[in-house]
Amino acid sequence: MQKLSNSPILKIISMLLMLLVAAKVISLIVLYLLPSDGIELSIEESYQPKYQRVDFKNMLNTAQTAQSSKKEFVQSGISMTNMILKGLYGTQNSGFIIVALKSKPKDTQIVEVGEVYKGYKLVGIEKKSATFTKNSTKYTLNLEALKINTQNVKSKVRDANGDEQISQKIVSKNDIEHYAKNPKDIWKEISIMEVKDGKAIKGFKVTRIKPNSKIATLGLKKDDIIIKANNVVLKSYRDALNIYSKIKDIDVVQIVVIRNGIEKEIVYEIN
């Protein structure tokens, strides 16, 4: 009978047992080293959200802008009583006006859209008014309309001889071109205001002429009321501006004014 210790079967069994013991020891070591949580839980705990840069300054500015836009122009259309609008030229977003304080009506200023006058910013020009803003409030300044007595004018339109008074002047074409390119220079030398009979415009009154200026040599006088230009009755600013826009293409300008209740014709020859 052969010994069991020398049997090949015993060696194989012993080797298998040793492998099983080694595998068990290795598995215990691995289990000991692994974390207590599962892999999915570990991934969730280590998750980092996408980085986003937050500019708190812009957030605050946006919030303040939104709040200020809600407060802007809470009041609008308030009439201005401390100023006089003597003339205007332009459209809603461009142009200029001639304005003065009521306390100093002769001290006129030319103000362009976007400029500030006495703390009020000119933001728009309408047909018969100008719009200002101050401290988020809109103010409206209307043109003052003067009235004339048409009955007195009709009774005095001619002199004692029954002839209309006529005066002739010569104007340099260079001066015409200068004023056409620089309309603000006109309003530095002269101020006019619309004259109404009821609701209808009857002409434009000269309220100021700068002494020793080129305009002063053209025969117009303070308080003259311009009623016609080249046989066109001036019923609106548009009528006057249409003639002004064509001034470079004509050789003669004929205007009719009422002076002291009498019509006077002034003819300008452009050389």
Is residue 63 within 8 Å of residue 128, measured between CB atoms?
no
Nearest 5°: the CA angle 23, 28, 31 is 120
204 backbone φψ class: left, alpha, beta (φ>0; ψ -120 to 50) = beta
Is the pLDDT confidence value at 236 over 60? Answer: yes
Give tens-digit pLDDT for 42-54. 444 455 555 555 5
Q: Is 151 helix (H, G, I), strand (E, B) or coil?
A: helix
pLDDT band at residue 209 using 50, 70 and 90 as cut-offs: very high
CA–CA dist 209, 47 (Å, integer): 82
Tokens read off for 55: 């500019």
Give tens-digit pLDDT for 168-202. 788 888 887 787 777 778 888 988 888 888 878 88
Q: Percent helix, strand and coil across the chain, each rounded to 5?
A: 30, 35, 30
Give tens-digit pLDDT for 125-180. 887 888 999 998 999 988 765 444 444 444 334 443 444 466 778 888 888 778 77
Does CATH place domain 78-144 in 2.30.30.830? yes
* pTM for this entry: 0.43
If residue 254 lies in a helix (H) or strand (E), which one and from where to where?
Answer: strand 252-259
Q: Among the CATH numbers 3.90.1640.10, 2.30.42.10, 3.40.50.450, 1.10.10.2160, which is that of 147-270? A: 2.30.42.10
Among 77, 238, 260, residue whose Cα is nearest residue 153: 260
Q: Do strands 116-117 and 120-125 pair parallel, antiparallel, or not at all (unpaired)?
A: antiparallel
Domain map (residue ranges) of the chain? 78-144, 147-270
pLDDT score of 53: 56
Is the pLDDT confidence value at 231 over 70? Answer: yes
